[in-house]
Chain A
């Protein structure tokens, strides 16, 4: 059974600081996704990582994938308040036929 673990589950940080969210998964996977969810809203796709060593960046967010370690990271650079949200990683269990398996999410609060 595929398991996805994120840490930390809760993070409070100050504007301007850097931090990393970690996502570990238990079995080989074809794809890893990062989503953002604002309170009371649905999920917004941020990144999809397809291969070992993949790195993608959008603004102050950068995601990377190490398939050998079964680890993805989401790095936040010089955080701003607008990045406050819950971030989920999700893993495709393979073959594209099944649904995604999500982590529990990292609830991120960025304080001025």
Chain B
């Protein structure tokens, strides 16, 4: 079946702009996670959704970052007033239920100039 998909695959923006990154989880997966991976590092947890609600947003670095999952399926990660330090690969993962194996999407490579 279809895996986790993310769009766009690449995004180049200018410092101070707003960006939205989209994640389509595997159908039927209730748990959805966002991670950020910098070059040469492991992914860092940002936020976890169980259904429509953000069950844990402790990894969001500051209030410029926000994510939604209004219908319990597709999720959007929103970054306001982007900074050069936001440049990274943003990964989305989903799992059938909380605590089960997470399946990762291909990621969105964000470059802030």
Are A98 and B101 within 8 A (Cβ)? no
Question: Which B residues are in CB contact (< 8 Å) with A96?
Answer: 97-100
Question: Which B residues are in CB contact (< 8 Å) with A101?
Answer: 45
Determine the residue in chain B with the shortest Cβ distance to A93. B45
Q: How many A-B residue pairs have CB under 8 A?
A: 65
Report how many residues on chain B are interfacial, defined by Cβ distance under 8 Å: 29
Question: Which A residues are in CB contact (< 8 Å) with B33?
Answer: 99-100
Question: Which B residues are in CB contact (< 8 Å) with A90?
Answer: 42-43
Question: Which A residues are in CB contact (< 8 Å) with B25?
Answer: none
**A31-89 residues at the B interface, CB under 8 angstroms:** 31, 33, 35, 41-45, 48, 88
Q: Kindly identify which residue among A41, A95, A99 contacts B35, using a CB–CB cutoff of 8 Å.
A: A99
Tell me, yes or no, whether B27 is within 8 Å of chain A by CB: no
Top 5 A-B residue pairs of the complex, sorted by shortest distance between their CB atoms? A96-B99, A99-B45, A102-B42, A96-B98, A43-B104
Proximity string of chain B (29-68) to chain A, C-beta cutoff 8 Å, 1 when within and 0 when not: 0000101000011111111101000011011000000000
Most A CB within 10 A of own CB, among B42, B98, B100 = B42
Question: Which A residues are in CB contact (< 8 Å) with B44?
Answer: 102
Determine the residue in chain A with the shortest Cβ distance to B97. A96
Determine the residue in chain A with the shortest Cβ distance to B35. A99
Are A100 and B99 within 8 A (Cβ)? no
Proximity string of chain B (95-112) to chain A, C-beta cutoff 8 Å, 1 when within and 0 when not: 001111111111100000
Are A88 and B42 within 8 A (Cβ)? yes
Tell me, yes or no, whether B91 is within 8 Å of chain A by CB: yes
Q: Kindly identify which residue among B40, B98, B101 contacts A97, using a CB–CB cutoff of 8 Å.
A: B98
Question: Which A residues are in CB contact (< 8 Å) with B104?
Answer: 35, 42-45
- Report the Cα distance A104→B39, complex, angstroms: 10
